[in-house]
Amino acid sequence: MAPTKTVLRALAGETLPTPPIWMMRQAGRYLPEYKATRAQAGDFLSLCYNPELAAEVTLQPIRRYGFDAAILFADILLLPQALGADLWFVTGEGPRLSTIQTQGDFDKLGPVGDIDATLSPIYETIRILRGELPADTTLIGFAGAPWTVATYMIAGRGTPDQGPAHALMQENTPLFEALLARITAGTIEYLAKQIEAGAEVIKIFDSWAGSLKGDAFHKYALEPAREITVALKARYPHIPIIGFPREAGDNYIGFAKATGVDCVALDNSVSADWAVQHVQVDGCVQGNLASRHMVTGGQALVDETRAIVKAFSGGPHIFNLGHGITPDADPDNVQRMIDAVRDK
């Protein structure tokens, strides 16, 4: 059967008169209702692992804005925790993890087969959402790409240049590749369980792909994305996959064909006109309004939104930001963006 939901139609390669729209981090700190639910949960991880509250914050932007897709509320670092890494969040600073820098550190990780003991609440959140989302709203599941997840596991935190991960890659390549392989295998199983729970689309977030250059990009960003996509497509051929190798630059070119993903999400470091010529020729694209417009608003927001819609109008397109919405965004600007996309 041909899909009827607009997001699924775009992912199947259909060019629609109005692109479907959702927004990365659309359930988050810019919304007052999210802040209230987060306070109720007590802390970020407690919110992620509480299926009723995680479903509630996933639904909040759908109720407020009528987005065409909801994305599961979770975090890319839940998988490392499920593999045995210690994970905690420092208020105002972000995530912290126990580090993987030696063979001994790696040997302390658990097997992929044990991840569901930790991640089962995430699957329950998806089951709740499938019962509560509007009939025309697509449910997106997700995971971090192996390289991006590895950068956090090696450094124990986010870093501006992913330097610790690059150092381990150079100094102990077998250990680095073993870690990437473990994350890749875990990601496949995690996403498979999300699909079985009811996710209709999968997105793979490679937030730090841009720091990989040349052969390293192909080995550690493109190849893991291909491996995950091939494995999931073998089990669930009807489930579309979105790849997001953020700041990949020229490596966006051919990414869809090389990995098998159904859609390439674009950051705002590339122009829509460039992406039409080099990326949309291979299928659906997603993006790519700069998230700063959600803070600054004004006519520039409307003009840039309309320009992106117009540029991508000749092919399949899902409107989104080029990165996640920031906590200082104005919720009214989100509505202005949606109205500009839908030409209201």
- Among 279, 218, 288, which residue's Cα sits nearest to residue 253? 279
Q: How far apart are CA 13 and CA 264, in angstroms?
A: 12
Which residues are CB-contacts of 241 (< 8 A; sequence separation ≥ 6)?
A: 201, 202, 203, 204, 228, 229, 232, 233, 260, 261, 262, 263
The runs of H, that is alpha helices, within 206-286 are 215-217, 223-235, 255-259, 272-278
Residue 127 annotated in active site: no
Length of the chain: 344
Residue in 29, 64, 130, 157 annotated catalytic: 29
Q: How far apart are CA 75 and CA 82, in angstroms?
A: 12
User: 325 in helix, strand or coil?
Assistant: coil
Torsions phi, psi for 118 (to 5 deg): -90, -40
Residue 152 annotated in active site: yes
Q: 286 has which bridge partners?
A: 265, 318
Residue in 30, 34, 38, 252 annotated catalytic: 38
Q: How far apart are CA 344 and CA 342, in angstroms?
A: 6
Angle between helices 173-197 and 163-171 (to 10 degrees): 120
Q: How far apart are CA 315 and CA 175, in angstroms?
A: 42
Residue in 25, 182, 246, 336 annotated catalytic: 25
Residue in 30, 65, 75, 220 annotated catalytic: 75
Residue 226 annotated in active site: no
Element (H, E) at 141: strand 138-144
Torsions phi, psi for 109 (to 5 deg): -70, 150
Angle between helices 32-41 and 51-65 (to 10 degrees): 170
User: 199 in helix, strand or coil?
Assistant: coil
Residue in 30, 34, 152, 190 annotated catalytic: 152
In the chain, the N- to C-terminal Cα span, in Å, equals 32
Residues that are catalytic:
25, 29, 38, 75, 152
